[in-house]
Structure 1
Amino acid sequence: MAEKALILLFVALSCRLACTEWADNNRGNGMYHGGYNGNYQGRSGSSGGSYGRFGRPRGIPRSPHERPSYDGTTYSRQTQKKLFATCSMMPDPAAPVLVTGTVRFEQTVSSQNQALSQLQVAVQLRGFETRDNNVDHGMHVHMFGDIRTSCADAGGHYNPTNMTHGSPFSAVRHVGDLGNIFEDGGGQVNTVFMDPVASLVGEFSIFGRGLVVHAGRDDLGLGTGENRTESLKTGNAGARLACCVIAHAADPQI
C-alpha cells in the first residue's frame, strides 16, 4: 500500500509540473488568459492593458491605435476636429457705399493642428453699388487686424512666403489672395468657395488678420503694360470698401 501511495503521489506531482509548464509556455499568446494582478497578459506576452483570446476585459477602453484610420493623411475619426472663424464686415469711413455682412471660415484639422481639408469661405455681404457695371470685387487677407481708424490700417496683402500676387489657384500667390467675389443684381454677395492655401492652422494661420473687400476687380496678377507693377502687388483691385478682423468662432451647430 505504501508503495502504491508513493506511485500515485509521484504521478500527481508530475501532472502538476507539466500543467504549470504548459501554462507558462502559452501565457500571453491567446491560449491562456491569466488572472488579474494589476495588469492583463496580452497577445504579445507583455502586460499593461492588453488581453488574451477571451477579448478585451470589461471596462477597459479600446486603444487609440486600434481605431480606423485613413492612411493618406494618417488620422482617425476620433482625432479630427473642425475649426471656425468669423469676420464681421464694416464699411471703410471713406467708402461711397456701406458694405456690411459676415464672412465665415471653416476647416477640418487633426488633433495635432494639421490641415486635413481646404479652407471653406462663406460670404454673405450686402450694400454694393447696383448702378455701376462693376460686379467683381477683390477680397484678400491683409497683414494686420488693427482697423480701428480705417481699412488702410490693415496693411498690405498677407504674404509671409514673399511671393508676387496671383490667382487663388496659382502656384505663385500671396497666402491672402482669395480672388474675386461677385455681387448679384441687388448688390449682395452670397457665395461659398474653397481655398487651397489660406488656413486656420499652421505657421501661416490667418487668425487675427484683416480681411478687405475692394471696390474693383482683382486682375489676379495678370495685368500688363503700365498696370503690370501694381498687378503683381495688389491685382489692381482699387480702393478698400470694407474690412474686418478674422476671429475665432464657436461651432455654429452648437
Structure 2
Amino acid sequence: MQSTMRFSYLEHVEHELLPTIEILWEVSRVFHADSDHYVSSFYQQLSGLKEHSELTELDGVELLRELCRVFYWQLGFSKAPEQLLTNKRVLVDRAIRLRTGEPFSLALLLQEAANYFGLELELIDFPDYPLLRFDHDQHSYFVDPSSGDLLLGEQVQERFEDATEGSEDFSWDKLEAAEQKHILVRYLSELKHAFISDRRFADALTTVHMLLTILPDDPYEIRDRGYILEELDCNHVAVDDYQYFVEQCPDDPSAQLLRLQLENWTTPQTVLH
C-alpha cells in the first residue's frame, strides 16, 4: 500500500536532513500559491525587530520573556478563537497571515522566531498541545504557546495531570525534545483532521499521502484514506484500504464496523452526477 504521491522533503525525516520549519513551508506551498508571500513577511518582521527593538541587548531568560511579549503583543499572534479545528489555523503560512493559530502552529512559529534571535527552544510533545523548553543556567523554562506564558516545572506537572485527568503518571522524561518525525506526524495529523472538519476532502487526501510518505503502510492512515475516498464517492477504491486495515488490525473496534460495510459493498457502486 504505497502512496502514489511523492513528497521528497518528507522521505527522510528520521534522518532530520532538513530543518523542520523548511518542511512546514513546503507543506504550506502545496495548499496555497501565495504562501511564500506570508513566509517572507514573517522574516521581514523578525528582521525589523532586530533593527528597532531592545531584543538584541538581552540574552537568556530575559530575551525569551521579551521575545514572547513581542510575539504575542507587538506582532499580535494569538490562539485560534474557534473551538472546532480549521485548516487556516493549522497551516503556518495562514497563521502568519491571520495572526492567529492552533497552539501547535504558534509553537513552531515562536520556535523559529527564537532561533532567529539565537535562542534554541525545544518542542516538547505534551498532552493537549506541545510546549517549548528553554534550558539556561542549569534550569529549564517552558513556554505555553497559546499565550506566551513562562511555566516552571511544577506548573508543567500540574498541566500534565489536568490534561491526562490522572490517567497517566507524570515523569520528567516526558519533557524531552520531540524528534522531527514525531513533530511532522502530529502536525500533519492535525492538518488532516482540520481538512476533514472543513469538508475539504481532496486536501485531506493529499495530507494523508504526506503522512504515508513518513509512515508507509500505516494501517490507520490507510483506513483514514479509505474514509476520505468514500467521502469523495470513490467507494471502489476505498474498499482496498478498508480491507487492508481489517486484515492488519482485526481487533480494532472500528474493524468490525468496516467488515459489515465491506459486506454491503458487494459490487462497485456507480455514482451518477
TM-score bracket for this pair, using the shorter chain length: under 0.3
Q: TM-score, normalised to structure 1's length?
A: 0.21
Q: Which has the larger radius of gyration?
A: 1
Name the one with the larger helix percent: 2
Name the one with the larger strand percent: 1
Q: TM-score, normalised to structure 2's length?
A: 0.20
